[in-house]
Structure 1
Amino acid sequence: MAEGYIMDLREKIGHIPMVIACASVIIYDETRGILLQKRKDNGQWCYHGGSVEPDETVEEAAKRELFEETGLSALKMELYTVASGKEQHFFYPNGDEVHIVDTVFICKNFSGDIVMEESEVTDCRWFAFNQLPDDITRSTKTPILHFAKEMLTRSF
């Protein structure tokens, strides 16, 4: 979930609601689909991302989070959407409450081998655009489903 900055704030303020800037990446391949990761904290699937650190751009944060969680490096990303609102209201299993403003990128140009961050991720798997898992984390579900639908309507 949180990097040093957010963890430091949480030590001071506890579990009260926070608005958090996040950056995420939907990794995809036209033939394999979308690469999702299973979160260790709630056991649900999501895309790759996390909070933006001070002085970090959203692009830097998205690339850093992708690498930390999966071992993959984004070579070229494209802005997809900014997700906010009621669907981005999230409770972590430890009781932390957040309202996420998530800058979501898409990326089909990446390198590296999948090496999962075992403290956060229990699985990484490719899902066909029309065969996504049912248990997708609420805060990532809408962007994932919209992107998959767009990919299904494209002609390659």
Structure 2
Amino acid sequence: MTQYVKDMRKLIGTKPLLLCGASVIIFDTQDRVLMLHRSDNDTWCFPGGAMDLGEKAEETAKREVYEETGLIINDLELFGVFSGEELHYIYPHGDEVYIVDVVYKARQYKGHVEIDNESKAFGFFDLSNLPQKISPPVIPIINTLLKQTNEIK
């Protein structure tokens, strides 16, 4: 959680907060996607997180990937911007957010995955065999990814 979010939570408690962030769909050489098993809600997601004040979305994406996985990403390609009711979420501890997620794709990375304490596990998954328990704000992103993948075939 960024310092900005912590400061805002002191002011508004668990009330809805508009939260801007970025995430990255990382593909390996076998076209599998990297997903993280979240510690807070026991679901799977792509690496990503909240934007710091004054930070560019691309910087957020690269920083969050590095913090959560230890990977260095350089080849970001904009996948889409996701927002609205589908990205409304209430965390298990009660914080309510409306997320604006700038999502990128990446196919080149350096390093080996080493997860931080935000995740319990990680895996590279075929799009046809994704984990069952997906974090609710990630579902629209996955649906769009699957739709685009099927249109290309």
Q: Please tell me the TM-score bracket, short chain as reference.
A: over 0.9
Equivalent pairs counted in the alignment come to 153
Tell me, in whole angstroms, the C-alpha distance in 1 between the residues paired with 2:111 and 2:56: 22
1:89 counterpart = 2:88: yes
- For 2:125, the equivalent position in structure 1 comes to 127
Alignment of 1:127-146 (within 5 A): 127-146=125-144
Structure 1 gaps, min length 5 = none
1:77 counterpart = 2:80: no
- Once the two structures are TM-superposed, the CA of residue 46 in structure 1 deviates from its matched residue by 0.5
- For 2:5, the equivalent position in structure 1 comes to 6
Ranges of 4+ aligned residues in structure 1 off by more than 6 Å:
none
1:57 counterpart = 2:64: no
The alignment partner of 1:130 has SS state of helix
Tell me, in whole angstroms, the C-alpha distance in 2 between the residues paired with 1:113 and 1:51: 23
Tell me, in whole angstroms, the C-alpha distance in 1 between the residues paired with 2:3 and 2:25: 24
Q: Calculate the aligned-residue CA RMSD, in Å.
A: 1.4
- For 2:20, the equivalent position in structure 1 comes to 21
Identity of aligned residues (%): 37
Q: How does the TM-score come out when normalised to structure 1? A: 0.92
**1:75-106 deviations in Å (ceiling 9; x for gaps):** 21000010011110001111000000110001
